Structure 1
Amino acid sequence: MTNETNENDDPTAQPRATDGGSAVEPVDDASAGENSEIVEVFPEGDLDLRAGADDCYKCTTCDISCPVAEVDEEFPGPKFQGPEQWRLKRKEDIDIGDSITSCSNCMRCDSACPSDVPLSQMHNEARGEYVDEQMSVLSREYIRNRILSNYRTSARFASKVPRFANFMMNFGPVRWVMEKTLGVTKEREFPEFAEQTFREWWHDRGGAQVQNADKRVAYFHGCYSNYNTPEVAKAMVRVFEYFDYEVLVPPQQCSGTPMFANGMLTDARRHAVTNVTELAATIDDGADIIASCTSCSLSLRQEYPELFDIDRIEDVAGNTFEALEYLRIHEDLEEALSDAELDGQSFAYHGPCHARNQGLHRQAVELFRDVDDVHVEDVGDSCSGISGTYGWKAEKYKTSMKIGEEMFDHLERAEGDTGMTECPTCAMQMEHGTGYEIRHPLQLIEDALLA
């Protein structure tokens, strides 16, 4: 993604290593000419994405693929937020435009670009600079975004008193106050906190029920599966144990996905250090890393190595898989499901944008299409619109719902009476817009194999 530097060219050179980027390649002054000047895109220590910006030839494919640009005429689109903004930085010291906060971090522009321009990486860096240098830490938006980004912190406290938290978070007057004071929309129903978190369940059951040094996986469950939908995490464990895997559940922090989307890169890096350290240790124990959330797997695989320079970060990225993806690689799932009985269930499947970025948005449909008595219908390639914390912001709520209209329409016309997706926030939007019950593919596999 970034410029590569051959440090052997000049053993005395001191390359300007960046936190997640490569050092800037030294320039030969003689060949450059006496009157030439070295132009630094950003001051020393920041990421230099000049090569990525120069690869953009302004075809606007990214703008056409952007769900925000499609519904918001004032949003300039990913081409401006990425390459254009970085080019302007080379000419003069200008501020990042505040429209960067309207980017939802769906990252569809990455997969759309025919030139492999690191668009989302540019957007993440731009958001980080905007938050650090232009947003007041006392502003309502900063405080709100900091709270939303660090969902794990509030969820940890709420999970201690889940019934009380569930009542208060969905009590009308409380939601009204939150919108007026923090700008968190009152239109959405807050997801319920489980009365027993996944990690509490894991501890109570005595950890792994299968011991197998030859088939070992480390589960990165993420915040939402731990605090809100432990049934998904339990399904993941049971399904992998069915295939004789030893499941490890290492200490972990948030993947950082909501922090990237809100420009809180310092927070994201702090969490990433813990995650990389703990997950790298499981690799040394012979484990691959598995995530049941496609945003979590994308964060570990792509955003970490793009943005941070942490020891063994490439090892973690290279050994991370989405759960269903991993099973399809290593097990004969089709054969295992061939005798499954699922009572004629019909599902309307939505492929998350962050699954699309990993080439995984068709895997659930492909897996279940040949299973007897199961009908899975892909409801199209539209974005759900919620994009994590984006759709929880009062000023973005209408935009998120407008983006989701195509998905809602497809869901309403689908034969399925239950929704299915791998992304927890897409599931929120699907349920919010249609009233569907939403399930994770792992839960369906669990029903098929273990019922």
Structure 2
Amino acid sequence: MTPDDDISDPDVERATDGGVSAGAVDERPSSETEFVDVFEEGDLDLRAGADNCYKCTTCDMSCPVAEVDEEFPGPKFQGPEQWRLKRKEDEDIDDSIMSCSNCMRCDSACPSGVPLSQMHNEARGEYVDEQMSTLSTEYWRNRILSNYRTSAAIASKVPRLANWAMNFGPARWLMERTLGVTKEREFPDFATETFREWWTERGGAAVENPDKRVAYFHGCYSNYNTPEVAKSMVRVFEQFGYEVMVPPQGCSGTPMFANGMLDDARRHAETNVAELAAAIDDGADIVASCTSCSLSLRQEYPELFDIDRIEDVAENTFEAMEYLRIYEDIEGELADAELGGEAFAYHGPCHARNQGLHRQAVELFDDVDGVLVEDVGDSCSGISGTYGWKEEKYEKSMTIGEEMFEHMDHAEGDVGMTECPTCAMQMEHGTGYEIRHPLELLDDALVR
């Protein structure tokens, strides 16, 4: 060692088992080192979620679309892999993203918490905004299906004429040829009196109770097509002493998320958040009778939008039966109820599964005399909102639903039950069964 060798110099290292030669400079990063951001972020902070994926393919195994469509690459590619690809310059979103049905079963399946559906929603939105031609038939078909609330509001002004026209054979054929909306499905009837019309005619809430208030998010379908579900919800909650509020509201955005129409969804979300936050300030919790609506408010809104009070709305939203099971002794009330020997084939919607609610109807009615609610399995119904209404996806939706149809055929009852309106369409379409909502059964048992 020479006098110039200073073993105390922190920048000098001696030979190690790792092969660093004596005198090598330590290149470990200092506190002032600037790291390179390999994947630039978009509007959504998804880097951490993408890094959580360890490619186990559990999500792919749970995907009902991947099971029937050999060309669909599956949730793992559509989520973390495509997220990384689209961080690179000039890298387009793969058009297969439009084949994702947004059932969100991949979220439930993932063992490491990767926000798969959030990634899919962002990718769909980017694909529609930047790659899909606004002059294409697909774009306008998807936009019409996504904005069902707009067409339903128009049709409900002349419901009898609309019901005839929408199911007139040549009209359905024409819609398939021009827009790509399958002619194989019958359009649901529009009610002659919407729920909100009934609510106004009734004079609003029949119970005033500032200590027990709920704001009802009824959604589009219960307002325009199945107001009996919404009426049952009101009667059941009033039976438990709740003051029901029905604030102004838009669409939950669920069909818009599935079709990449995020700008449309945001406009509705801004209205919904403002109105529902005001109801929270008045002492109300938010309840929804559709599990897709409750999931949208609870999960997709805060994942996709930065709107004032959006977290308040998400944290105070419940599915209707879930809320009663938490805050009321509904099982005790049902213990004394008797119904007339009814048997139901129950399907738990995918969007109920994401909230841990896909067994609640079976559990709730298990001990009620005269009622049998039989779970028909955990398969997807296949319709996934607007997915099964598209001509090119109709056969796939029916193939996905085959397991559910078969289980329903072997169930003891010949009446179906579900909380999701589009699952109800698929169940009726595939089996011919009448379909009821669990809230209607609660209404029969506790109120009427």
For 1:238 and 1:156, the matched residues in 2 are separated by: 25
Q: Are the aligned partners of 2:41 and 2:47 in contact in 1 as well (CA < 8 Å)?
A: no
Q: Secondary structure at the match of 1:337?
A: helix
Residue in structure 2 matched with residue 266 of structure 1 by the alignment: 263
Residue in structure 2 matched with residue 313 of structure 1 by the alignment: 310
Deviation string for 1:305-343 (max 9, x for gaps)?
Answer: 000000000000000000000000011111111121211
Residue in structure 2 matched with residue 220 of structure 1 by the alignment: 217
For 2:194 and 2:360, the matched residues in 1 are separated by: 28
Deviation string for 1:1-20 (max 9, x for gaps)?
Answer: xxxxxxxxxxxxxxxxxxxx
Query: Bigger radius of gyration, 1 or 2?
Result: 2
Residue in structure 2 matched with residue 39 of structure 1 by the alignment: 38
For 1:30 and 1:242, the matched residues in 2 are separated by: 66
Deviation string for 1:225-267 (max 9, x for gaps)?
Answer: 0000000000000000000100000000000000000000000
Structure 2: which amino acid aligns with 1:226?
N
Q: Say whether residues 1:78 and 2:75 are aligned partners.
A: yes
Q: Secondary structure at the match of 1:374?
A: strand
Deviation string for 1:383-412 (max 9, x for gaps)?
Answer: 000000000000010110000000000000
For 2:155 and 2:190, the matched residues in 1 are separated by: 7
Q: Say whether residues 1:107 and 2:93 are aligned partners.
A: no
Structure 2: which amino acid aligns with 1:151?
Y
Residue in structure 2 matched with residue 187 of structure 1 by the alignment: 184
Change (3 A) 1:42 1:136: farther
Structure 2: which amino acid aligns with 1:49?
L
Instruction: List, as ranges, runs of 4+ consecutive aligned residues in structure 1 with deviation greater than 2 Å.
Output: 29-34, 36-43, 89-93
Displacement, 1:91?
Answer: 4.1
Q: Secondary structure at the match of 2:184?
A: coil
Q: Say whether residues 1:166 and 2:134 are aligned partners.
A: no
Displacement, 1:83?
Answer: 0.5
For 1:56 and 1:151, the matched residues in 2 are separated by: 35
Instruction: Give the alignment partner of residue 203 of structure 2, picking from 206, 225, 236.
Output: 206
Residue in structure 2 matched with residue 242 of structure 1 by the alignment: 239
Paired residues for 1:276-355 under 5 Å = 276-355=273-352
Q: Secondary structure at the match of 1:405?
A: helix
Q: TM (normalized to structure 2)?
A: 0.92
Change (3 A) 1:74 1:31: farther
Structure 2: which amino acid aligns with 1:37?
V
Q: Secondary structure at the match of 2:182?
A: coil
Q: Are the aligned partners of 1:280 and 1:316 in contact in 2 as well (CA < 8 Å)?
A: yes
Q: Are the aligned partners of 1:208 and 1:247 in contact in 2 as well (CA < 8 Å)?
A: yes
Residue in structure 1 matched with residue 5 of structure 2 by the alignment: none
Residue in structure 2 matched with residue 400 of structure 1 by the alignment: 397
Deviation string for 1:131-162 (max 9, x for gaps)?
Answer: 00000011000000000000000000000000
Q: Secondary structure at the match of 1:90?
A: coil
For 2:45 and 2:217, the matched residues in 1 are separated by: 31
Q: Say whether residues 1:142 and 2:139 are aligned partners.
A: yes
Q: Are the aligned partners of 1:41 and 1:48 in contact in 2 as well (CA < 8 Å)?
A: no
Identity %: 83
Residue in structure 1 matched with residue 4 of structure 2 by the alignment: none
Structure 2: which amino acid aligns with 1:169?
M
Aligned length: 420
In structure 1, the gaps of 5 or more residues are: 1-28
Residue in structure 1 matched with residue 357 of structure 2 by the alignment: 360
Residue in structure 2 matched with residue 4 of structure 1 by the alignment: none
Displacement, 1:276?
Answer: 0.1
**Aligned Cα RMSD in Å?**
1.1
